[in-house]
Amino acid sequence: MNDKFVVSVIGAGGKMGTRTTANLAKHLDAIELHCCETSPAGIASIEQRGLSVTPAETAVPKSEIIVLAVPDVVIKQVSVDVVKMMTPGSTLIILDPAAAVAKELALRDDCTFVVAHPCHPSWLLDQETAEARQDHFGGIAGKQDIVMAKIQGDDKNFAHARSVSEWMFAPVANSYVMGIRDIAFLEPTLVEILGASTLYAMAETVDEAERRGISRDAAISFLTGHINILSAVFLGRMGKVQVSDACKVAIQLGNRLVLRDDWKRIWDDEVLDKAIATMLHPNDPKI
């Protein structure tokens, strides 16, 4: 990697664009950063942070790394325009695997394409400060891991993209490299189709507890405390400690009363592909 190289962020005024450029701006001794944005609100946000806006037509052709920080549903069209402007040998980083898995990401044989996605701070990571412990999203003070995949391209360029991604999501404890379908099975399958839906059900159950006259604060404390200990047990963080026999029976009841008997179908390749297609095009559901 050169002493100073050019990085452009497309969608720099959006949610993820704001987070990534805020961290990249801490490394202006090593990079030449260009913020690309078209929406008036996004442009205003960038300028309020003391950064300037560069048209993509100017920034992309001279960039060694381009970060596509735009919503999944527009990657198909946006990537077509951006990839046409890329210089041979440059690298495009997208922040979610869905478009790549669905083959909606524009590609070029003479460029490198990478997926990078944050894990967000885990309660199993030892955060050292109060600020870090309150950084639930990550990218500010809380340590987090990231996952990465090379879609295609040069290994050296991927190594550069890995360094930039670790800056974008800093402070990063570990960056795990895997295939793009592996990341897709982590999200949406693991953390959204299963994790988010069951956690949302838990939040709704707290509402029901409150409706029945149970203290909301007590219900939240009871739920989150038990999630903490149960996850530590089930993920092998407490050695040979096991849940009680009564809890094991309750889990089997939950499998019958809450989860479908065939819920592990979410790990089928066909289900993953249909889920991603539906998430990218909710008006044309495939599942």
Q: Where are the domains of the chain?
A: 5-178, 185-280
Residue 36 has pLDDT above 90, yes or no: yes
Question: Which alpha helices (DSSP H) does 65-215 contain, by range?
Answer: 72-85, 98-101, 130-134, 155-168, 180-184, 197-211
> Averaged over 176-198, what is the pLDDT?
96
Calculate the average pLDDT of the chain: 94
Say what the pLDDT of residue 1 is: 44
Task: Decide yes or no: CATH 3.40.50.720 for domain 5-178.
Answer: yes
264 pLDDT band (50/70/90 cuts)?
confident
Say what the pLDDT of residue 208 is: 95
User: Which residue would you say has higher pLDDT here, 36 or 251?
Assistant: 36
Between helix 269-280 and helix 72-85 the angle, nearest 10°, is 80
Q: How far apart are CA 124 and CA 109, in angstroms?
A: 40
Residue 274 parent element (H or E): helix 269-280
Residue with tokens 């987090």: 144
Is 0.85 surpassed by the pTM of this model?
yes
259 pLDDT band (50/70/90 cuts)?
confident
- CA distances in angstroms from 130 to 20, 34, 100, 134, 172, listed in the order given: 22, 33, 37, 6, 17
Contact (CB, 8 A) for 237 and 124: yes
156 pLDDT band (50/70/90 cuts)?
very high
Strand partners, 150: 114
How much of the chain, in percent, has pLDDT values that exceed 90? 87
Look up residue 195 and give its two tokens.
């994790």
Look up residue 189 and give its two tokens.
């399958």
Residue 132 has pLDDT above 80, yes or no: yes
In sequence order, what E strands does the chain have?
A: 5-10, 31-36, 65-68, 91-94, 112-118, 144-152, 172-177
List the one residue out of 170, 144, 157 whose CA is nearest residue 108: 157
